[in-house]
Amino acid sequence: QLQLVESGGGLVQPGGSLRLSCVVSGFTLEEGFDLYSFGWFRQAPGKEHEGISCISSSGAVTNYVDSVAGRFTISRDNAKNTVYLQMNSLKPEDTAVYYCHTGSTRTEVVNGVGTWGQGIQVTVSS
């Protein structure tokens, strides 16, 4: 069974940067890490769960929601079974629990079909 573990969260000041990592384990012999698409989601206090970025299995195709485009960058290292989210120019409204997610396709990721990480807190405050 797939397991996704996020790390790299914490408290940063507005305008600061943070990089989240998602280490994946438990993939099968038939389907390795390089066959999965990934995404990052977040949920702020009192707000709805929202998808913010996704990446194809090859890493060649990425997508971002408008609110983070130009500030956040999703990437992956298939040799390390790891997905990253580089967050720059952070704003207080970026404060949320961030979740790593995987599915067979980017469409599945966008629709929340697949396996979720446990989530990690990111707080942007002065």
| Average pLDDT taken over every residue of the chain | 94
> At residue 37, what are phi and psi to the nearest 5 degrees?
-90, 155
Residue-level pLDDT at 63 = 95
Q: How confident is the model at residue 31 (pLDDT cuts 50, 70, 90)?
A: confident
Mean pLDDT score, 107-121: 93
